[in-house]
Amino acid sequence: MSQIYYEFEKLYHLPPDAVCFAPGRVNLIGEHTDYNGGNVLPIAIHLGIRCAAAVRHDRKLRFFSQSFPDCGMIECHLDELEKKGCWADYPISVIKTFSAFGYPIENGADFYFSSDLPDGAGMSSSAALEVAVGMMLSKLYSLPLTKQELALIGQFAENRFIGVNCGIMDQFASAMGKKDHAILLNAHTLSYQYVPLENACLVIVNSGVKHSLASSAYNDRQRECETARKLLKVPTLCSLSREEFDKRSDSLTDDICHRRARHVVYENMRTIDAANALKSGDLRTFGKLMNDSHRSLRDDYEVSCEELDFLVHTAQNIHGVYGSRMTGGGFGGCTVNLIEKSAEDDFIRLIKQEYRKHFHITPDVYSVTVSDGAGFLGT
């Protein structure tokens, strides 16, 4: 029986009705393409959020997270679903979204969360939280929702109620991940396929940098892309091939707009090329595309930072590394490194050593296992 079962019981004096787990994600390639109608290639990882919950007989909601013990137990009422200005805004926003989508929640519930995902590191702890809450609500109230719908609900909650205009990648990966496979997802059509990922290991290095303005800078990038899309007169930036973009890019006289759009179009194509390389087991080509992706995020999209650039540059010069890039929204967070299995230990030692020498802090490093998406755990 999982530990969270007992922790729930200790706090609420009743056993939970169900326990679920929603993983974090790491994106291998296809960055800032999802909200431009393009392709992404994320994986779900073994780290994530556990949620235990039980239905109540009244309309009260109670939330407790082991990650934020100082916030204590947060209470609210189904008839007054106001944001609280803390982590509980995520579950509250998902509950509001259920109502907005025509799935009213009649009874209250008690929730308990525990997480082994580093907060603010760019491994999508917020998407995992949204998906965990969605899974739990569908179970507690017997609502017939698919995992894809839960991903869309999570994204809607974040867009509408949290105020970050994120794409669908993070929630989709958390809900739909598959052990030992990457997900090639077209964020426009939501069509997807699983691509086996084998014979290499993935190591995540956390720069420890958290950019406080990351969400507003993210929304700025979206606006810049939208301006470019209108000037190019296309339904989405990712509907253009590289060649079409190069032919039409004269209409983008503003340098920033031009570079943002170039990143998106080229990154989208790189993602398809990378998925094809993975399918044919060509890890060298895959790694090279990861390196190209980083360069483009750094120079054209300008969402990297000194620490991420240092980690990537250092990694790319370590023996046995196929490729290295920043992953996620950027402005801090993590790098993802694809490495030959036999080189993993040396890589971890060297990357820690170099980062410590340069920035005087030891980065957290995670060897990740490619895992299944959200599911229920036996209680």
Residue numbers at the binding site for ligand GLA (CB under 6 A):
27, 31-32, 34-35, 166-167, 169-170, 328-329
**Which residues face 42 on adjacent strands?**
27
Chain-centroid distance, C-alpha 41: 11
Considering the complex, what minimum distance in angstroms separates the CB of residue 268 from ligand GLA? 11
CA distance 142 to 164: 29
HEC-encoded secondary structure of 209-261:
CCCCCHHHHHHHHHHHHHHHHHHHCCCCHHHCCHHHHHHHHHHCCCHHHHHHH
Structure tokens at 286: 């895959």
Nearer to ligand GLA, 109 or 225 (CB): 225
- For residue 193, the one-letter residue type is Q
- The pairing of strands 109-115 and 60-65 is parallel
Examine the residue annotation and report whether 220 is marked as an active-site residue of this protein. Answer: no
Nearer to ligand GLA, 223 or 349 (CB): 223
**Which residues face 168 on adjacent strands?**
none
Active-site entry in 89, 110, 170, 300: 170
CA distance 371 to 182: 9
Structure tokens at 91: 């579950």
CA distance 83 to 33: 30
Considering the complex, what minimum distance in angstroms separates the CB of residue 27 from ligand GLA? 6
CA distance 318 to 322: 9
Contact yes or no for 336/325 (Cβ under 8 A): yes
**Which residues face 45 on adjacent strands?**
370
Main-chain phi, psi angles of 39, to 5 degrees: -100, 150
Considering the complex, what minimum distance in angstroms separates the CB of residue 167 from ligand GLA? 3
Nearer to ligand GLA, 32 or 325 (CB): 32
What is the DSSP-derived secondary structure letter of residue 141? T
Considering the complex, what minimum distance in angstroms separates the CB of residue 53 from ligand GLA? 25
**Residues sharing a CB contact under 8 Å with residue 306, sequence separation 6 or more, in sequence order:** none
Considering the complex, what minimum distance in angstroms separates the CB of residue 28 from ligand GLA? 11
Nearer to ligand GLA, 31 or 307 (CB): 31
Nearer to ligand GLA, 36 or 138 (CB): 36
Nearer to ligand GLA, 105 or 166 (CB): 166
Considering the complex, what minimum distance in angstroms separates the CB of residue 328 from ligand GLA? 5
Considering the complex, what minimum distance in angstroms separates the CB of residue 73 from ligand GLA? 28
Angle at 364 between CA 353 and CA 368, to 5 degrees: 115
- The pairing of strands 334-339 and 364-368 is unpaired
Nearer to ligand GLA, 105 or 264 (CB): 264
Active-site residues, by number, are: 170
